[in-house]
Chain A
Amino acid sequence: AQTVTQSQPEMSVQEAETVTLSCTYDTSESDYYLFWYKQPPSRQMILVIRQEAYKQQNATENRFSVNFQKAAKSFSLKISDSQLGDAAMYFCAYRSGGGSEKLVFGKGTKLTVNP
């Protein structure tokens, strides 16, 4: 069974600075996808960024980028120029390729952005 581990229960960053959230996963599969989701206090889960395992290039979405290290099974999220609106719970998630049905989530990291 696949597992996702987020070792940082809480992180804080100053506004405009950069922060990196860590995630490791365990799988024996070769075809899979990795995701970072954001869950603000309003509760609605929003996709931040997605990485296909077969792609060597790290995904980037505006101020959000990932460092995908397939051999190390590591998938960290970097947030540049942090904004107050980035404050939320961040979940790392894994999903098998093909006709997979489920997302496997980590326990989350609570990010605080200080003005």
Chain B
Amino acid sequence: ETGVTQSPTHLIKTRGQQVTLRCSSQSGHNTVSWYQQALGQGPQFIFQYYREEENGRGNFPPRFSGLQFPNYSSELNVNALELDDSALYLCASSYGTNGGDEQFFGPGTRLTVL
């Protein structure tokens, strides 16, 4: 069974650019959640996709957008990058959206915005 994978591992961008981060969910999982983890902080929820539809969104501006594909992999897109977008971006997959469903995390993508 393959776990959650993310690509790329590291990324360096400049202010104003756009970035796409990718996540492959664990086999059998239909739900992907994205989190932003700033240095020294706990992860903050960005949004969740369930069966290709957005199923909830945290307090992030519209320039953070996402997609989920029929194979349940997912993309996080960030437009007009700002310095404060520098963070570790984590995705987590689960089977379903019930509060007790375990979310399995990927290793993250470290984004640096210069």
Contact = CB atoms under 8 A, between A and B. Distances in A.
B41 A107 contact: yes
B33 A101 contact: yes
A68 interface: no
Interface residues of B, number: 28
A44 B105 contact: yes
A103 B45 contact: yes
B105 A98 contact: no
Nearest to B47: A101
A86 B99 CA distance: 26
Contacts of B99: 31-33, 95-100
Contacts of A105: 42-44
A102 B103 CA distance: 10
Contacts of B33: 101-103
A47 B107 contact: no
B42 A91 contact: yes
Interface in B30-77: 33, 35, 40-45, 47-48, 50, 55-56, 58
A95 B23 CA distance: 22
Given A50-B100, A101-B48, A102-B33, A91 B43 contact: yes
B90 interface: yes
B104 to A, nearest CB: 8
A99 B56 CA distance: 10
B9 to A, nearest CB: 10
Contact of A44 (B42, B44, B107): B107
13 contacts: A4-B42, A44-B105, A44-B106, A46-B105, A47-B104, A93-B42, A99-B98, A100-B97, A101-B47, A101-B55, A102-B58, A103-B43, A108-B41
Interface of A: 4, 31-33, 37, 42-47, 50, 52, 91, 93, 95-108
Given A47-B104, A93-B42, 14 more contacts: A4-B42, A33-B99, A33-B100, A45-B92, A47-B102, A95-B100, A97-B98, A98-B98, A100-B99, A101-B47, A102-B56, A103-B33, A103-B35, A103-B45
